[in-house]
Chain A
Amino acid sequence: MSVLAAEDLTLQLGGRRVLDAVSARFTPGHVTAVLGPNGAGKSTLLACLAGLRTPDDGRVMLGGQPRDAIGLRDLARQIGLLPQGGDVHWDIDVASLVKLGRYPHRARWGETEADGIAVARAMAATDVTRFAARPMTALSGGERARVLLARVLAGEPQWLLADEPLANLDPAHQLDTLTCLRDFARGGAGVIVVLHDLNHAIRVADEVLLLCDGRVAAHGPPADVLTPQRIVDTYGVAAHIATTPDGLRFIVTSQMARS
């Protein structure tokens, strides 16, 4: 399994240093949650890792090779990206949309058997098989998010990068999506997911990469990274960490008393 790593990524956008010497090694089989306040550089980091942005300095390494040395199609087979927002510009049916995920694997003519298997598996993993024939506009927000996730899974990437996949989902669908991501990582792939909710990170992540002002503030297991002090330092809010009677850790934040 190839390792994905950022080495000293630095990127200026509009005169602002969005990423400032960010280095991180991501572990296959793990879910890594990328956390940080708005504007910390989370999405930009993901875009750099996926090859959508070229850093001014530093490089992305995939399987010991610099990313720029890997062809577009090869890279697309190894790294799947679930972008923020989830545009679907034409009202196509669910099965056709999931099939788009096979684009990097496309044969010259028609579909291969492997395409069919991957699509069916991705649709089963996200539980969208039963509305395969429905048009995208006939889906609820939660169903739609699952279909878009199935599209990425159908590409069978070794790395799945998801940018805020939980936005606009109700709690049940949020947990469903997190479980999907986690199961995918358990299959051996690496998952890197940008999250906003600290509790989601605790639920799902094996590692947390905490960004602040374009720099890595901490990287490690959630319990080590998300300490009350660090949450104060990065987010500027007070944090209380507690455990439910059945052993689930959770974080409650509150505004800091003004001194």
Chain B
Amino acid sequence: MNRALGLNLALAAGIAAAFVLSLMAGKVWIPLDAWIAGDPRWPIIAELRLPRTVLAVMVGAALGLSGAAMQGYLRNPLADPGLFGVSSGAALGAVISLYFGYAASAWLLPVFALTGAGISMALLALLVGRSGSIIVFTLAGVIISSVAGSMTALAISLAPTPFATSQIVTWLMGALTDRSWDDVTLALPLLALGAALLACTGRTLDALTLGESAARSMGVDPLRLQLLIVIGVALCVGASVATAGIIGFVGLIVPHLVRPFVGNRPSAVLLPSALAGALLLLLADSLVRALPTVSELRLGIAMSMLGGPFFLVVLLRMRRRLA
């Protein structure tokens, strides 16, 4: 219990520190003493870095929480929120808007992405039906994400201009570059609602540790749980993809990082995963801005580059345990 509280406090402190760091970091390093209205560098902080930083916290927390909830629900430490088709659906929506060149309006792309997420969520609910079965759920998610993925590939290959193609490909890599307060306003209510729904699942996920039969005999309503997970993850992931593109690995890695500290109980992993997700994305986004590259490294790529070696470590550790 106390270890969990300690970890949460440490993570919260880390987020506060990383938040400040993220406001300072970038091509132009802005020290603390320039943080006053009137300083010529202040608009960079207020209009560019602050919304971007807030968005990194929100998206990171939503992805971390979704990952922890998905792993708890599927009882599989390799489950990822992307498994479930919603991020591919959201990406497809965004790609369609880019394909038709609608991206000129700042609001249209996220709205298309959210529509895509909503449609894939509805499809998922429809495919799963009233069974409440986890295997059907996983299969339906795989089907939706592969169909959405192939449609996205189709849109890329048929894109009207090379410019559209490069725009699509770049967007798919995920980033928080040039995000504004509009994006924050759009995503915040959706992410908050999704996170609230997922936060309700903690104890039920714990009960699911004993398997479906035992959980049902303890009064778990599998249909209600599935609905909470589907809508909660769809809101979190859909709104994240709509504002930041696809940022993989956060939902997959973060629960692994916190389990050594708080134990394996799914409900104990939820809050620290949200906090650690926020911290991870804050740090990664500060890093891509601070790196001396010609054009900014895409956040989605940075996360995947971190994710690969991370899973190598997980694999090596697992192999040692099995040997």
A residues whose Cβ falls under 8 Å from a Cβ of B? 47, 50-52, 72-73, 75-77, 79-83, 85, 87-93, 96-97, 100-101, 103-104, 106, 148, 151, 155
A75 cross-chain contacts in B, Cβ below 8 A? 219
Least Cβ distance of A108 to chain B in Å?
Answer: 10
Asked if A103 and B220 sit within 8 Å, CB to CB, the answer is yes
Interface readout for B242-278 with A: 1 if CB under 8 Å, 0 if not?
Answer: 0000000000000000000001111000000000000
**Chain B, 209-257, CB within 8 A of any chain A CB:** 209-211, 213-214, 216-221
Asked if B211 and A87 sit within 8 Å, CB to CB, the answer is yes
Q: Which residue of A lies closest to B74 (CB)?
A: A89
Interface residues of B: mostly helix, strand, loop or mixed?
A: loop
Tell me, yes or no, whether B75 is within 8 Å of chain A by CB: yes
* CB contact under 8 A between A90 and B266, given known A100-B207, A100-B210: yes
Asked if A85 and B264 sit within 8 Å, CB to CB, the answer is no
**Alpha-carbon separation in the docked complex, A6 to B51 (Å):** 63
Least Cβ distance of A107 to chain B in Å?
Answer: 11
**Alpha-carbon separation in the docked complex, A65 to B264 (Å):** 39
Could you list 13 A-B pairs, sorted by A, with CB under 8 Å? A51-B216, A76-B219, A81-B217, A87-B214, A90-B264, A90-B266, A91-B264, A93-B263, A100-B209, A103-B206, A103-B220, A106-B203, A155-B218
Number of interface residues of B (CB under 8 A): 20
**Alpha-carbon separation in the docked complex, A80 to B219 (Å):** 10
Least Cβ distance of A181 to chain B in Å?
Answer: 17
Asked if A101 and B209 sit within 8 Å, CB to CB, the answer is no
Known A103-B207, A104-B219; further 12 A-B contacts with Cβ < 8 A? A72-B221, A80-B217, A82-B214, A83-B217, A87-B211, A89-B209, A89-B210, A90-B265, A91-B264, A96-B265, A101-B218, A106-B203
* CB contact under 8 A between A85 and B211, given known A92-B264, A100-B206, A103-B203: yes
Least Cβ distance of A1 to chain B in Å?
Answer: 20
Asked if A88 and B217 sit within 8 Å, CB to CB, the answer is no
Asked if B264 and A52 sit within 8 Å, CB to CB, the answer is no
Tell me, yes or no, whether B208 is within 8 Å of chain A by CB: yes
Asked if A89 and B219 sit within 8 Å, CB to CB, the answer is no
Least Cβ distance of A203 to chain B in Å?
Answer: 26
Q: Which residue of B lies closest to A106 (CB)?
A: B203
**Alpha-carbon separation in the docked complex, A103 to B214 (Å):** 11
